[in-house]
């Protein structure tokens, strides 16, 4: 926590210097002593402190000041720091004004000038008030603060980005939070469409920023330091992270490019309970955090958020074009983009995406769902894990499953846990046929087999109905199956013939694509096992084949 502030205000320069001297001598170690010679400049200081989130413990203010009296200053300062202790400095003739101020601004104390000796007439009073402030003052949040509207897709995307990258932040809904409205007003106010507003600990701010702007501001690496690497990895899920760790630890200069946040879809999982070596389970974000730290230890460069727009081959190099117009060249390229959630084709749903409708287990919305009813569409492990997680916050969680059984797509341990929770309901043979609302989701229409359709109130819907690969940007560079998954190794040679245009005399390695030197691992690969552990395994195995390929170059 930053040092709490003691602010002294007096228009008499000599008195102000004396007050500062006495305050610093007694409280300088534990508090930051600031001063102002006018009420209006003092208020400007207070506003800046509020925007930075700095705590103010005590105001020590002279009553007689031109332009703004001490009581008038305290009245305005109280709106910004209601918990700060308030002390008025008065001459004997102003004692009546001080007494009135006890009721007007909840004045804690008034002191008569002069206050010498301070050991008897100043410090005992202030020390008692400061101890009282500490007893009732909650720790101040010192990180990034995001102000916005709960139903804003832009605010949701920014919060999701910060959370996925494990950047601590405080969310303040300007419609539900008095502090949020106050901070917004102090920042000059803004129309809802311009939000979110991001406040940084140093007092700077960004209005309606992109995730890239925020990433650069908080120090995430978005640009590579070199034009050439031994290995470029596209995708930062379990497969990409494992390849990065194994590749860099074995001496390959490695850069990993991730469009959103390291961890991929697995990183959003609230709990992975069957991952080997973690008997109590671990969250996807914890797994991602450990892997990122491990990769950084071996010197991997991680670019995020950064998106790849295309790849071309200029032997012996593979060249990756990034969204910012820069390029990376390498000898070996690993495609580990994973998959993205399949969109629900329900009328009207697109207009509510990010405003009550979310794809995947958006943990950033958990606290907003407190005491509400949450709907989750899906019948596989991701949906089960999400149901368990949101059940900790929501009053009721309803799992909407198209199939006739949870056991068909969900692990046995998850099925048992879902059925054991009193506030989780499972609707089998059920689909969402319509979504409705105004500025955000308000109603769902459910259709259960053999029953008439019914409409239910709903403000939050999470969708986990399967996934599709992120490979459309590859065009015809590498061979893919009918669904877009990348073919590798033996799957490229169903009849024993090598891929079209294949030049090496050898057959493609197990995880090599139809282009020599370009490999694929994890969920994006055809016929891969869609599990975190298998993704990690493929990422690490790919490095062995990449070494064999590099020995040929």
Strands 308-314, 205-207: pairing is unpaired
Whole-angstrom distance, CA of residue 234 vs CA of residue 240: 7
Tallying the residues shown for the chain, one arrives at 553
Over residues 208-249, the pLDDT tens digits come to 999 999 999 999 999 999 999 999 999 999 999 999 999 999
111 forms beta bridges with 89
SS3 at position 112? strand
Burial class (CB in 10 A: 0-12, 13-18, 19+), 294: middle
Residue 348, pLDDT score: 83
CB 449 within 8 A of CB 423: no
Residue 40, pLDDT score: 94
Q: Where are the alpha helices (DSSP H) in 56-177?
A: 70-80, 95-104, 118-121, 123-136, 153-164
Write the DSSP string, 203-245: S-EEES--HHHHHHHHT---S-S-SEEEEEEE--SHHHHHHHH
Write the DSSP string, 258-302: -SS-TTGGGGG-S-B-S-TT-TT-B-HHHHHHHHHHHHHHTT-EE
Residues 6+ apart with CB under 8 A from 26: 118, 123, 126, 127
SS3 at position 52? helix
Average pLDDT, the chain: 92
CB 126 within 8 A of CB 58: yes
In this structure, the dihedral spanned by the alpha carbons of residues 537, 538, 541 and 542, taken in order and rounded to 10 degrees, is -150
Whole-angstrom distance, CA of residue 527 vs CA of residue 486: 9
Q: What angle do CA 209, 214, 219 make, to 5 degrees?
A: 160
All domains in the chain, ordered by first residue = 5-136 (3.40.50.2300), 144-218 (3.40.30.10), 228-340+468-550 (3.50.50.60), 349-465 (3.50.50.60)
Residue 27, pLDDT score: 96
119 forms beta bridges with none
CB 174 within 8 A of CB 148: yes
User: Residue 120 phi/psi, 5° resolution?
Assistant: -105, -35
Going by C-alpha positions, the residue among 445, 406, 413 that lies closest to residue 428 is 406
Rg (CA), the chain: 30
Residue 300, pLDDT score: 97
Which regions of the chain are under pLDDT 70?
A: 1, 93-94, 140
Token pair belonging to 314: 């200029």
Residue 1, pLDDT score: 62
Over residues 157-216, the pLDDT tens digits come to 999 999 899 898 999 999 888 888 888 888 877 777 789 999 998 889 999 999 999 999
Kindly report the pTM of this predicted structure. Answer: 0.81
Going by C-alpha positions, the residue among 486, 496, 493 that lies closest to residue 518 is 486
H/E stretch holding 418 reads: helix 412-420
Looking only at Cα atoms, what is the longest distance across the chain?
104
Whole-angstrom distance, CA of residue 13 vs CA of residue 37: 7
């Amino acid at each position: 926590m930053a040092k709490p502030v003691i602010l002294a205000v007096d228009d008499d320069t000599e008195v102000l210097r004396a007050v500062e001297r006495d305050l610093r001598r007694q409280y300088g170690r534990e508090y930051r002593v600031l001063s102002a010679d006018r009420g209006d400049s003092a208020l400007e200081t207070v506003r800046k402190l509020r925007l930075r989130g700095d705590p103010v413990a005590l105001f020590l203010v002279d009553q007689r000041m031109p332009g703004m009296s001490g009581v008038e200053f305290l009245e305005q300062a109280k709106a910004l720091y209601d918990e700060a202790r308030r002390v008025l400095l008065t001459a004997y003739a102003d004692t009546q004004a001080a007494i009135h101020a006890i009721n007007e601004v909840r004045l804690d104390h008034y002191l008569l000038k002069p206050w010498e000796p301070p050991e008897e007439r100043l410090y005992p009073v202030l020390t008692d008030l400061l101890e009282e402030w500490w007893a009732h003052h909650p720790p101040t949040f010192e990180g990034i603060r995001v102000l916005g509207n709960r139903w804003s897709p832009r605010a949701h995307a920014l919060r999701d980005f910060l959370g996925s990258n494990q950047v601590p932040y405080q969310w303040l809904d300007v419609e539900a939070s008095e502090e949020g409205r106050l901070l917004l007003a102090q920042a000059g106010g803004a129309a809802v469409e311009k939000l979110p507003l991001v406040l940084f600990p140093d007092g700077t701010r960004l209005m309606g920023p992109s995730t890239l702007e925020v990433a650069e501001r908080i120090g995430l690496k978005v640009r590579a330091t070199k034009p050439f690497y031994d290995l470029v990895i596209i995708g930062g899920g379990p497969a990409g992270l494992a390849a990065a760790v194994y590749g860099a630890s074995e001496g390959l200069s490695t850069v990993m490019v991730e469009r959103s946040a390291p961890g991929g879809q697995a990183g959003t999982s609230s709990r992975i309970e069957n991952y080997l070596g973690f008997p109590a389970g671990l969250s996807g974000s914890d797994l991602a955090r450990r892997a990122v730290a491990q990769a950084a230890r071996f010197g991997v460069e991680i670019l995020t958020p950064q998106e790849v727009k295309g790849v071309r081959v200029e032997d012996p190099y593979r060249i990756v074009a990034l969204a910012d117009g820069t390029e990376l060249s390498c000898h070996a390229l690993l495609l580990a983009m994973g998959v993205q959630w399949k969109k629900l084709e329900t009328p009207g749903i697109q207009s509510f995406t990010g405003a009550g409708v979310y794809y995947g287990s958006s943990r950033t919305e958990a606290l907003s769902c407190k005491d509400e009813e949450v709907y989750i569409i899906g019948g596989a492990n991701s949906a089960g894990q999400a149901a368990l997680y949101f059940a900790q916050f929501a009053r009721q969680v309803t799992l909407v499953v198209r199939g006739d059984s949870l056991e068909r797509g969900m692990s046995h341990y998850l099925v048992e846990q879902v059925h054991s929770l009193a506030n989780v309901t499972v609707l089998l043979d059920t689909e969402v046929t319509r979504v409705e609302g105004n500025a955000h989701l308000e109603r769902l229409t459910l259709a259960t087999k053999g029953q008439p359709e019914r409409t239910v109130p709903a403000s939050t819907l999470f969708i986990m109905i399967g996934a599709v690969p992120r490979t459309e940007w590859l065009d015809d560079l590498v061979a893919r199956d009918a669904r877009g998954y990348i073919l590798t190794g033996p799957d490229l040679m169903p009849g024993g013939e090598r891929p079209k245009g294949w030049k090496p005399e050898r057959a493609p390695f197990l995880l090599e694509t139809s282009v020599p030197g370009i490999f694929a691992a994890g969920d994006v690969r055809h016929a891969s096992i869609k599990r975190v552990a298998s993704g990690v395994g493929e990422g690490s195995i790919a490095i062995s084949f990449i070494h064999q390929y590099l020995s040929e170059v």
